[in-house]
Amino acid sequence: MIATLQPIETQKTEQTRVNQVDWENLGFGKIFSDHMCIMEFNNGSWHKPRIVPYGPISMSPAISALHYGQALFEGLKAYKNESNEVFIFRPEKNAARLNSSARRLCMPEMPEELFVECVKQLVDLDKEWIPMGEGESLYIRPHMFATDEYVGVKPSESYLFVVFTCPVGKYYTGEIKVKIEKNFTRAAKGGTGHAKAAGNYAASLWPTKLAQEQGYNQILWTDGQSHEYFEESGTMNVIFRSGNTIFTPLVSDSILDGVTRDSVLAIAKDWGYNVEERKVSVKEVLQLLENNELSEAFGAGTAATIAPIRVIHFEGKDYSLRPYDQWEFAPKVSNYLDGLKRGLEKDIHGWNNRVS
C-alpha cells in the first residue's frame, strides 16, 4: 500500500521568517525556509505526507541511522524568474536516483510521483524564499533515514523522509584548485559510491581536510583499486575538454550518476561536441596538461553547477589551466543552464518542471 497525496496536508507556520533573511549574504545551506515536508514509512508503506513548519525533530538516540548509517539524501534546485514563474530542474531524475540509492542501502523506495509532488508542494508554499540573483536558487534537500530503535545490525523497518529547502548563493566563488588523490579512496568497487549515501560524504571529509590544509579546495578522486583513473571531484562529477572533445569518467558502481553531469553532456552533444564517457586516466590528463592541450576541466554538481578547475596538483607539482574567462565551453554551458532553469531558454529536453 502506497500513500497517495493530493493535496498534502499542510500546517502553515504562524509567522514567516522570510523578512529576517540577509539576502546579500546567503552563503550555502545555512538558512532554512519556513516549512518542511515529512512522511513516515512503517508496516511496509509510506504514510501521511504532510508539510509542517521547519524545525527540530525529536528522536531516540538508538535509531539505526545514527549508528549504522542507513541514511541517504538528494539535492536539487528551484528557480524563479522576473515573471514570478517557478521551476524545479529535473526532479524526476532525483526521484529515480533516490530509489536507486535506497535499493543499495536496503531502504524502502517511494513512488517517483510522490517524491516530485512533495517537493513541488513544498516549493510552491515557500516560493517567497526563492532568491533571484545571479547564481542563486532555492536548494532542496530531500533525505531519508532509518528510525528503528534497535542496536542490532539489520535493515530498519521504519524510516523518516524529510524535505527542507534553503535559499542559497554560489557554492564556490571563483575557480578551484584540486589535488589528485592516490592514497585515500572515496568509493570502492562494489561499494556505495553510486548511491547518495550519507556515509560516502563522511568518508571524504578527512582526506579533503588534509588537501585543504595543503591549499587545495577539493580532491580529484581516483579509483580505489589502481588509483590510475579519475572518478569524481570533491562532491561533484568531473568533466574535461580537449579541443572538440568533452570527456568524463563513465558512471559505475563507484561514481554518482549526476544530474548536472547528464545535462551538461546532453547539451554538449546538442552543440556538436564529441562526447566521450569512458575511463579517464591520470596519465592521459597529466600528458594533456604538459602539452598545454587540456582546454578545460570542471566539477559538475547540483550545488555548484559548474566549478571551473584552475589548478590540478599531482605528486608535488601544480599544473595550471588557462583562466576561466578564456574557456569556451564551461562558461557557455553554465550560462545556458542558468537561463534554462529560469525558463528563459527553450526547454528542448523537457527538463524544467513548472510549479503550479
Helix, strand, coil percentages, rounded to 5, for the chain: 25, 30, 40
The residue at minimum Cβ distance from ligand COI is 301
Show the cell assigned to 44: 511496509
At residue 333, the 3 state secondary structure works out as: helix
Is the separation of the CB atoms in 189 and 254 below 8 Å?
yes
Show the cell assigned to 26: 546567503
Smallest gap from Cβ 116 to ligand COI, in A, equals 18
Query: In terms of Cα–Cα distance, which of 330, 177, 318 is closest to 248?
Result: 330
Smallest gap from Cβ 11 to ligand COI, in A, equals 28
Contact with ligand COI (CB under 6 A) among 75, 91, 131, 169: 75
Which among 114-122, 270-278, 297-305, 337-345 is the span making contact with ligand COI, rule CB under 6 A?
297-305
Smallest gap from Cβ 284 to ligand COI, in A, equals 25
Region label for 47, one of left (φ > 0), alpha (ψ between -120 and 50) or beta (otherwise): beta
DSSP state of 322: P
Using CB under 6 A as the binding rule, the residues of this chain from 248 to 267 that contact ligand COI are none
At residue 343, the 3 state secondary structure works out as: coil
Is the separation of the CB atoms in 166 and 75 below 8 Å?
no
Which among 56-64, 129-137, 172-180, 302-310 is the span making contact with ligand COI, rule CB under 6 A?
302-310
Based on CB atoms, which residue is closest to ligand COI, 49 or 142?
142
| CA dist., res. 111 & res. 39, Å (int) | 13
Smallest gap from Cβ 141 to ligand COI, in A, equals 9
301 binds ligand COI (CB under 6 A): yes
Contact with ligand COI (CB under 6 A) among 94, 302, 334, 352: 302
Build a one-symbol-per-residue string for 179-218: x at contacts with ligand COI by CB under 6 A, - elsewhere.
Answer: ----------------------------------------
Which among 46-54, 117-125, 186-194, 299-307 is the span making contact with ligand COI, rule CB under 6 A?
299-307
Smallest gap from Cβ 62 to ligand COI, in A, equals 27
Measured CA distances, 319 to 118, 213, 324 (Å):
45, 18, 15
Based on CB atoms, which residue is closest to ligand COI, 75 or 343?
75
Q: Which residues contact 199 (CB under 8 A, 6 or more apart)?
A: 69, 71, 192
Which among 78-86, 116-124, 264-272, 300-308 is the span making contact with ligand COI, rule CB under 6 A?
300-308
142 binds ligand COI (CB under 6 A): no
Smallest gap from Cβ 28 to ligand COI, in A, equals 7
Binders of ligand COI: how many residues, by CB under 6 A? 7
Based on CB atoms, which residue is closest to ligand COI, 89 or 229?
89
Is the separation of the CB atoms in 332 and 273 below 8 Å?
no
Residue showing cell 535559499: 167
Query: In terms of Cα–Cα distance, which of 118, 110, 106 is closest to 45?
Result: 110
Amino acid in the structure at residue 315: E
Residues making contact with ligand COI (CB under 6 A): 75, 235-236, 301-304
